Structure formats: structure tokens, C-alpha cells
Structure 1
Amino acid sequence: MLEVHQFPCLSDNYGYLLHDSESGETAAIDTPDADEYLEQAKAKGWTITHIWNTHWHPDHAGGNGDIAKAVGAKIVAPQEVEKLSSIDQVVSHGDTVTLGSHTAQVIDVSGHTNGHVAFNFPDSGIAFVGDSVFALGCGRMFEGEPKQFWDSLQRIKAFSEDTVLYCAHEYTQANAAFALHADPDNPELQAYAAEIEDKRSRGEWTVPTVLKRELATNPFLRADDPALQARWGGDAPHETFAAIRAGKDNF
């Protein structure tokens, strides 16, 4: 079976080690901090055999070289990661990657960056989505265009609604504040936001999240909802998404 080991690193990142107990293979999902990943793997008694990057930003791929040098891990990543490190296997939408007997679908979720991918394990009900979508949020649109990013979110929305989404940052409390501004009459969102406040007051993590809950509460996934379109404008969902994203950027 697959085991996910989650741990905080840098100022607000989460690191993930994905381990297949049968084969003994372990994937580092992104590499914000090489030393922390190596230390966490050692503490678990695991050896990192693969590095899977979601996108090229240094807080996701900056530790590739040091980890690969230390343990000989194979770097699997979208082409854009070549900005930071060499790549052993370039992947893009429609490809698959394996960890032991488990297969992940590589999904194009570009918009935050132009080559951003997610790794979805439909048989295990888990997906590693990087900065494409967060609990109650989505990544800032640094490189992409609104239609591109909205189409990417449609691919995430098509996952099984029970999929556990492992996103890369503890941004949820700030995201909740904006979500309540964006969609103030949503009772499910109000309950979710209260739960987040309670968790953070106790220093608890709010990640991972579950797609079903995000579909009901995350304004960026709901830009096709008539109420949000009426509030934020736009003749098409991607235009509403663009308005909501701009609202968050200036919130």
C-alpha cells in the first residue's frame, strides 16, 4: 500500500514522501528543502528513489540536485524544471508514472506556471496538486492565462470527489478570509472557515483537503456557479474565474 508522510518545511510549505511498502520505493513529491527531505526519509527508514516535481519554482524543485546527489534518485518532472535542474524523465499531460505497482496519471494543471502538472492516483484516491489548487484557494497566475487555468481546474474537478488533495502550502486561513468575501452566503463555506479557525488556533494543519468539500466551498472551483457569476461578473466561467483571481490578488 502507499503511505504518505507529510511534514512542514520552509516557512509555509508541506513536504511529502510517498512510500510503497511492497517495493520499498519512495518518491519525494517536490523538493523545497533537500536537507529536510533527506532527514525525514532517514527517520522513516526510507530511501528516496524518485523525485516527482509538479512545477519549476524553487520551493518545489530547488532541492532536486542535492537529493539526487545524495541518494541517486531519478528526477521525473515537466520540461520547465530544466530551469533549475537536470531531468531524467520528462512528463506531460497523459503520461503515467509508477511507484512499485501503483500508477499515477500525469495531469496538466498549468496556469500558476505554464508546465505545472499534478500526479493523480485514482485507485488510491490521492492526488498531489502542487500550487494548482489549495484548500479554499488556487495558485497565483504567474505565467498562465485565465482560460488555461480554468481548464486546468476542470481537470481537477473531474477527479473522484472523494480524492484527497495534497497541496503544497498552509495558506488555508488566509484563503478562507477571501473565500468568505467572495461567496458570503455559502453556509458550507461558513462552517468550513470556522473549522479552519479552530484548527489553526491549536496549531493543527488544514492540509490535505478533500475534493468534495472544495467543490462546495472553493470559489475558484465554483466560477461557473450562477451566484458567483452574478457577484463577480463575466460572460463565461473563465472570465468569472479571472475576476475572482484578481480579487484575491488585491485582497
Structure 2
Amino acid sequence: MQVYRLAVLSDNYIFVLHDTQKNIAAAIDPAEAEPVLRQLEATGAELVALFNTHHHHDHVGGNRRLMERFPNLRIYGGAEDFGRIPGQNVFLREGDRVSFASSVGEVFFVPGHTRAHIAYYFHPNAPDEPGDLFCGDTLFAGGCGRLFEGSPSQMVSSLGKLRSLPDNTRVWCAHEYTLKNLQFALTVDGNNPDLQARYAQVKESRRRDEATIPSILGIEKRTNPFLRWDNPDLQAAVKSQSAVQTFARLRGMKDNF
């Protein structure tokens, strides 16, 4: 399975999965249709599926145009998003499985950013290969999504599910927010040498206009404060001993950063 990363809008990413053997494709969170259509033209692949993580327009804005071009599309989304994702005809819940190419994707219900958000984890096909996590706006490189429809306790639970995946998992999040996320992280975890090194690397990558996605989950576990709510140094930084309260205070600080 080949993954193409398409930069769209001001800072969004669409991901196009390509089954090179069958020459079919799937798009994840198609904010716009035209970039997907151009990618399909480049490969000659037929689009067969849309995998949506949640209903926000910058994730589903291309659905209707792609449906017009490919009327037999399977359009996936969370069951709780019924009526909010254009064209949705597959309604997924925690633990459901989806498949594309030779890969099997596990569905995680990860409310917090929205009440219905889901993520897709495509398991590796061999022990030495990484899995691929498409997490929308739940987990970002160096950060996490704002809480529009969910609570801090929901988001801690959701991020905990993603944190439990293998360290070599590739994290394909839907926005290029990494540099600003790490700038915030340094204000609460500035003595973390892994974070310091990552910030320097990302700063240089962005200076060269290079994408920072995908990230690697093991790096997130060491440097992303929103996966480290149980770290004593971070708890001390926000004056909390509760995981949920620590997360809530971090999220509130980031909202005002």
C-alpha cells in the first residue's frame, strides 16, 4: 500500500492510499476533490473508498464531488456521525475492521475533538514493518486537537488508545501544526532533551518547507505533552497530580498560546 500525502487548504493533508497491484485507491479525509483527482490521474487508479475521521468541512469538503465522479464509492465514517458526513454509507464503531489492499485497518472510537471522531490503524503486514495510524484531528505531531464536542476525560481515554500502539507506528495526522505545537511544548517541558532535539530538527525542516508528517509514535510518546499527562515533570509544571486535570490544564494553556 503506497501512501501519498497531499497538502491542501492552508495546512491540511489529504492521504491517498494506492493499491499498486489492483490499481485502486482510497482517500482519507478529502478536504478537496481536485487534488485527489489529480493524484488519481497521475497513477491511473480508480477511487473505491473514502475514509473519513470526522465531519468537519476541512475533512469532508471533497466528498460530494468525488461521489459524482465515482458513484459506487464506499464512504466510511463513525456511526455517531450519522447525517453529518456527506454520502456516508458505512457506519463504523470501536473495534470494527476495514480493509484496503492487503492491509487490515482497526477502527478506534476517539471522541474529544468531536463527539463522533474515529481513527484508522492499518496493521503491518510483516513483524518488522510499521503500522499506519490515520488519526484526523485527535493526535497531532507534538499536539492534539481542540475539544469542540468532547471532554478532557474523553480525550485522555482516546489518546490513551492511540498511545498503546507500537512505537514504530507512522502517525498520519491531518494538519501541519508541528512547529507551533513544539513551541508550546517547550514552555511546559523545556528540560526534555528529546523535545529540544526534535524542535531543532522540525524548525529546520519547516525552514526548508518540508512536511513533518508522518511522525513516529515513539517520538510522540517522548516529546508530545498531550501523551505525557502522567509524567511527573509535566504534572508539576501545571500543578496537578490527576491525569485528566493535567491534560485539561495543558489543553487550556495551548488554547491560549
TM-score past 0.5 threshold: yes
2:185 aligned with 1:179, yes or no?
Answer: yes
Give the SS at the match of 1:191: helix
- List aligned pairs for 1:101-120, cutoff 5 A: 101-120=102-121
Is 1:25–1:99's contact at 8 Å kept on the other side of the alignment? no
* Matches of 1:26 and 1:160, distance apart in 2: 26
Amino acid at match of 1:189: L
- Structure 2 vs 1, CA of residues 238 and 209 (structure 1 numbering), >3 Å: closer, same or farther? same
- Structure 1 window deviating more from structure 2 (218-227 vs 17-26): it is 17-26
Give the SS at the match of 1:200: helix
* Matches of 2:201 and 2:102, distance apart in 1: 37
- Structure 2 vs 1, CA of residues 123 and 70 (structure 1 numbering), >3 Å: closer, same or farther? same
- Structure 2 vs 1, CA of residues 67 and 83 (structure 1 numbering), >3 Å: closer, same or farther? same
Give the SS at the match of 1:87: coil
* Matches of 2:40 and 2:244, distance apart in 1: 41
2:231 aligned with 1:225, yes or no?
Answer: yes
* Matches of 2:84 and 2:241, distance apart in 1: 37
- Shift of the alpha carbon at 1:227? 0.7
* Matches of 2:227 and 2:251, distance apart in 1: 11
Give the SS at the match of 2:235: helix
* Matches of 1:92 and 1:9, distance apart in 2: 28
Partner of 2:162: 156
Identity of aligned residues (%): 40
* Matches of 1:204 and 1:46, distance apart in 2: 26
Is 2:54–2:117's contact at 8 Å kept on the other side of the alignment? yes
* Matches of 2:165 and 2:135, distance apart in 1: 12
Partner of 2:49: 50
Partner of 1:93: 94
* Matches of 1:23 and 1:106, distance apart in 2: 24
Partner of 1:78: 78
* Matches of 1:93 and 1:217, distance apart in 2: 27
Is 2:113–2:147's contact at 8 Å kept on the other side of the alignment? yes
Is 2:104–2:122's contact at 8 Å kept on the other side of the alignment? yes
Partner of 2:196: 190
- Structure 1 window deviating more from structure 2 (90-99 vs 71-80): it is 71-80
Partner of 2:8: 9
- Structure 2 vs 1, CA of residues 89 and 74 (structure 1 numbering), >3 Å: closer, same or farther? same
Partner of 2:250: 244
How far does the alpha carbon of each residue in 1:68-92 deviate from its partner, in whole angstroms, 9 at most, with x for none? Answer: 1111221111131622413111112
Is 1:224–1:237's contact at 8 Å kept on the other side of the alignment? yes
Partner of 2:58: 59
Give the SS at the match of 1:83: coil
* Matches of 2:93 and 2:56, distance apart in 1: 17
- Shift of the alpha carbon at 1:24? 2.8
Unpaired runs of 5+ residues, structure 1, are none
Aligned residues: 250
* Matches of 1:162 and 1:194, distance apart in 2: 21
How far does the alpha carbon of each residue in 1:131-183 deviate from its partner, in whole angstroms, 9 at most, with x for none? Answer: 11111010111110001000000000111110000000111111111011121
- Shift of the alpha carbon at 1:25? 2.8
How far does the alpha carbon of each residue in 1:91-122 deviate from its partner, in whole angstroms, 9 at most, with x for none? Answer: 12110111133210001121001111111012
- Structure 1 window deviating more from structure 2 (209-218 vs 81-90): it is 81-90
What do you get for the CA RMSD once the two structures are aligned?
1.2
Unpaired runs of 5+ residues, structure 2, are 126-130
* Matches of 1:19 and 1:180, distance apart in 2: 37
